[in-house]
Structures are given as C-alpha cells and as structure tokens.
Amino acid sequence: MFKPLYRYCVHLPSIAGGLLIFTLTFMGGGPLPIRATEDRDAAERLFKQGVEQALIQNYGAAIADFTLVIDLGSALPEVYYNRGLARDRLGDIEGAVADYSMAIRLDPFDAAAFVNRGNLYSLQGDFRAALRDFDRAIQADPTRVTAYYNRGNTHYELGEFARAIADYNTCLQLVPDFADAFVNRGLAYFQLGDRQRAQRDLNRASQLFLNQDNVAAYAEVLDRITGLEL
C-alpha cells in the first residue's frame, strides 16, 4: 500500500500565512490565575519567556520555563499545551501526551490539543485512539481543517479509503488549495482503483506545490506519479 504524505499537520499555509506543516504554534493566554501578586508576575514573565524560547526553537529552555510556571501554581491549559508542544518537538511523546491530556482536562473543548494528541497516537500506531481525538476536535471546532486532514490520514492507514476521501473532501471544501489533501486523496482513489481521479488529484497537487515554490514537495509528488505509473 502506498503511504500518504503523512505530515504531522498543526496549521495550514492558507490559514497561517506560511508553510507551517509540522510547525509549532505557541499559544498566549490571559492573566495567570495565581493568588500572590509577586508569583503571578513571575509566572507571567516566565510564560512569556517560555513562548519566546520556543519560537527560536530553544525547546529545552521553554520546557523549563513552563514547568516553573506550573510550579508557581498556574492551572491554565495554555501552559500545559505549550509545554506539550515543546516536548513534542523534542521527541518526548510520552511527556507531550501527558501535557496535552492535562490541557484537555482543564479545557475539554481544546480542539488543538485533541488534534496534537491524536497525531501522536497515530504516530504510535494507536489509530483508534487517534480517531477518537480527531472526532472530539471536530465536535469542539467543526471548521478545524487539521482534524479532518489527520483523521483522513488515520482512516487511510486503517485501509478505510472511502472514509479518508470523505475527510479530504471536507479539507478541500474548507481550504481549496491544500496540496497535501489533494495528494492523499489521490492516493486513496488509487487504492480504490480509480486511476483517473488519482491522476487528477496528484497533478493538481504538483501544480499547487510548484505555485508555492515548494520544490521538495513538488518533486515528491512527481515521484509518486511515476511510481504509480499514472
């Protein structure tokens, strides 16, 4: 079975303004709910510092800052979410899942945390747990494109190609120039024996990548087309 372009997708180019697939978005928050004024001020300073460290990819320092914020008594989901992202980036899957889970416990409607935890479950091969998280992300935010995209990838991995196509269709309704969704929908069509639609989608994806100056992705799609003999 040809594997999809299984990119760990947090945000999309047309949403965020740049090619941000497999990129972290660190979330700010309101005043941290800590009683003592001095502790609150220190926590807010550390939280801001942690975000700044994460944005320059100094994830170890970011984790240390977010941990200090938690130690000062903060119970904001944003703190756990951001520490989870930093741990995620460093490959600490167990730690990241734990932090995303705490963020969800504090905010059961945190669609981003559900998507990110679902991605990690998928990467671990726990596809049914991933599907549950993507479903909950969509319930919390029916316009969350990344939830549909990653749920589609998970259905693909399970051989549920028609369901994968349905999710990619929703992605493309929401973001018509989402090239990765075209690639994966094309591969799903190929798995179902629909070579004409597979070729159409892969050609469309290659053109989109070319328009985005994403030469590596463009070449990858051309290799897929050649490999599939389309």
Angle at 212 between CA 210 and CA 215, to 5 degrees: 50
8 Å CB contact between 115 and 150: yes
Choose the weakest-confidence range: 9-13, 58-62, 210-214.
9-13
Domains, the chain = 13-29+76-228 (1.25.40.10)
Q: Would you place residue 3 in the very low, low, confident or very high pLDDT band (cuts 50, 70, 90)? A: low
* Rounded Cα–Cα distance for residues 50 and 178 (Å): 31
pLDDT at 23: 28
Are residues 13 and 19 in contact, defined by beta-carbon separation less than 8 angstroms?
A: yes
Q: Mean of the per-residue pLDDT values for the chain?
A: 83
pTM of the model: 0.82
Could you report the per-residue pLDDT of 171-219, keeping only the tens digit for each? 999 999 999 999 999 999 999 999 999 999 999 999 999 998 988 888 8
Model confidence band, residue 95 (pLDDT cutoffs 50, 70, 90): very high
**End-to-end alpha carbon distance in the chain:** 16
Structure confidence at residue 158 (pLDDT): 92
pLDDT digits (tens, 9 = 90+) for 136-183: 999 999 999 999 999 999 999 899 999 999 999 999 999 999 999 999
- The rounded Cα 218 to chain-centroid distance in angstroms is 21
Does 31 have pLDDT greater than 60?
no
Q: What pLDDT is recorded for position 65?
A: 92
Q: What percent of the chain has pLDDT over 90?
A: 58
